[in-house]
């Protein structure tokens, strides 16, 4: 077969050929899979404008002359604008129609139409899928690079880097934990913090200033009550007893004070 053939009518098995004249179409009849393969061997790539296959419905299937992969063997011979027509002779079962549509899908074809003719002939038509330019992605070109940016380590590690010097926070001016100046100065001399000596002064300031009021003053007289039951405890004391809340004591021990402070 010449490689200049642009249209081919292929009749598979014993299917009745179409009644319409072939015209410029080349007609080939093949009854075996080997004859079908031979009809493709002498054809050039992308040499077919139109392919028409006539097959009986009984020959469609995985074990028949027309299987799901039949058109995939012809796809390289089709031009981008080629059309494919499958003529099914006889009552086409649902499985036969499904096999034809599957062959369209595996060959990269898109179904276009389906019609019925006389004498129980069904024609399914497909064409190659058009590739839209909109789906093409533009090539990304490299942009020219500008001059390289250099960073000096002297600039990065300079004194004026915007950071606070930790050593500067330890000066007396920034020491927030230090006591006020007046209190700090007075506390260095005594424990009274600038006040008058305490009554129970233990730092020695009262002795230095000669204001030891505890030694100069006469001991106070212990308060007494007219009921005479102060030393027996709160259960026997009157409402105005000066010893309410204090433990019981013996006569003459009113001035003693029990130290209940912790030793630790």
Q: Is 148 annotated as a binding residue?
A: no
State the Cα–Cα distance between residues 13 and 21, nearest whole angstrom.
19
State the Cα–Cα distance between residues 96 and 59, nearest whole angstrom.
9
Residue 204: strand, helix, or coil: coil
State the Cα–Cα distance between residues 254 and 35, nearest whole angstrom.
139
Helix, strand, coil % over all residues of the chain, rounded to 5: 25, 20, 55
Q: Is 198 annotated as a binding residue?
A: yes
State the Cα–Cα distance between residues 248 and 233, nearest whole angstrom.
5
Cα 57 from chain centre: 55
Q: Is 201 annotated as a binding residue?
A: yes
8 Å CB contact between 1 and 30: no
State the Cα–Cα distance between residues 215 and 200, nearest whole angstrom.
11
Q: Is 227 annotated as a binding residue?
A: yes
Q: Is 238 annotated as a binding residue?
A: yes
Q: Is 241 annotated as a binding residue?
A: yes
47-69 burial, b if ≥16 CB within 10 A, otherwise e?
bbebbbbbbbbbbbeeebbbbbe
Burial of 201 (0-12, 13-18, 19+ CB in 10 A): buried
State the Cα–Cα distance between residues 100 and 178, nearest whole angstrom.
96
C-alpha distances out from residue 219 to 96, 97, 195, 197, 215, Å: 130, 129, 25, 19, 9
Bind-site residues for [2Fe-2S] cluster: 192, 198, 201, 203
Bind-site residues for [4Fe-4S] cluster: 227, 230, 238, 241
Bind-site residues: 192, 198, 201, 203, 227, 230, 238, 241
């Amino acid at each position: 077969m010449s490689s200049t053939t642009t249209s081919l009518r292929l009749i598979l098995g014993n299917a009745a050929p179409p009644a319409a004249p072939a015209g410029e179409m080349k007609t080939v009849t093949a009854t075996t899979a080997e004859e079908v393969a031979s009809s493709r061997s002498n054809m050039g790539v992308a040499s077919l404008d139109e392919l028409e296959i006539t097959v009986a419905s009984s020959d469609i299937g995985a074990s028949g002359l027309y299987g799901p992969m039949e058109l995939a063997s012809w796809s390289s011979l089709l031009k981008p604008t080629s059309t494919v027509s499958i003529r099914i002779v006889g009552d086409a079962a649902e499985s036969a129609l499904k096999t034809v549509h599957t062959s369209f899908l595996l060959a990269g074809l898109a179904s276009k139409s389906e019609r019925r003719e006389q004498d129980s002939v069904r024609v399914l038509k497909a064409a190659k899928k058009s590739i839209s330019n909109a789906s093409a992605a533009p090539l990304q070109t490299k942009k020219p690079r500008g001059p390289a940016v250099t960073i000096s380590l002297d600039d990065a590690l300079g004194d004026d880097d915007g950071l606070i010097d930790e050593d500067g926070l330890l000066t007396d001016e920034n020491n927030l934990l230090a006591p006020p100046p007046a209190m700090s100065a007075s506390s260095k001399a005594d424990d009274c913090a600038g006040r008058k000596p305490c009554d129970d002064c233990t730092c020695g300031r009262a002795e230095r200033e000669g204001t030891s009021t505890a030694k100069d003053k006469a001991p106070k007289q212990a308060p007494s009550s007219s009921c005479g039951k102060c030393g027996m405890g709160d259960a026997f004391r009157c409402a105005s007893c000066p010893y309410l809340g204090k433990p019981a004591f013996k006569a003459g021990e009113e001035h003693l004070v029990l130290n209940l402070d912790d030793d630790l």
